[in-house]
Amino acid sequence: MNRLSETFNTVKPILGMLHLAGEGPAAKLAQAEEEARIMAGEGVDGLVVENYFGDADDVERVLDRLCSLDLGAKIGVNVLRDDPRAFTLAKRYPVSFIQVDSVAGHLPPEDDAVFAANFAARRASVPSLLLGGVRFKYQPVLSGRPEEEDVRLGAARCDGLVVTSDATGQPTDMDKVARFRAATGGTVPLLVGAGLTEANAAEHLAHADGAIVGSWFKHDHKDTGRVEATHVARLMRAVRALRSAA
């Protein structure tokens, strides 16, 4: 039993992204609630409130709304480009998990030590599950260390690692997942962070311990679309079949 399975009380949890699209705060809030209800209604295990299209204030408005509802899915937060704000919100709202896009490898050595100390202090200040990226999509690699070393450092800094290839919607390289698993010796859960579909779910979830899904749930499977219930239902049907077979 690890913190990932304890938090979601299931194997291979699926976390859906709320990207906060919409014209203005009220529209973003309304669309986020609509998409949260769709995903939770189809059995998605967690909802990640992220300022992909909005800002940190939009994240807080959506957290405030979702935490007042009983949707049945765990609520999480990812504040892009402002990790401290994510931890502040996790103190203010009953979020079950925090996602941070990069916890190791993205800084030169002279900056990493300060980052690590501050990050450890923030992590200790909240009880939420912490999911972090190493060599995550769109993140620089400035550490000067081998990938294996960055992965081991990242694993020590969080409760689970999120693995992606190079871009949003791009299928995650299973060889990369295998390298991360070997580097950590299987000591931390690994989640696929991009590119999961109902067609590749069996392959990806055979190697990973869960997944974060954004674009695939949306119209035309693009990040700019709105979440469509049929897309969510098909993927979750595939996931439930895999869980039953296991």
Residue pLDDT, tens place only, 110-167: 999 999 999 999 999 999 999 999 999 999 999 999 999 999 999 999 999 999 988 8
pTM (2 decimals)? 0.96
Alpha carbons 101 and 105: distance in angstroms, whole number: 11
pLDDT in tens, 65-77: 999 999 999 999 9
Question: Nearest CA to 135 among 96, 173, 98?
Answer: 173
Do the beta carbons of residue 79 and residue 89 sit within 8 Å?
Answer: yes
How high is the pLDDT of residue 167?
A: 84
CA atoms within 13 A on the CB side of 76: 27
Q: What is the mean pLDDT of the chain?
A: 96
Question: Nearest CA to 161 among 137, 130, 140?
Answer: 130
Alpha carbons 112 and 108: distance in angstroms, whole number: 6
CA distances for 224 relative to 4, 52, 156, 204, 216, angstroms: 29, 10, 34, 24, 11
pLDDT in tens, 211-241: 999 999 999 999 999 999 999 999 999 999 9
How high is the pLDDT of residue 237?
A: 97
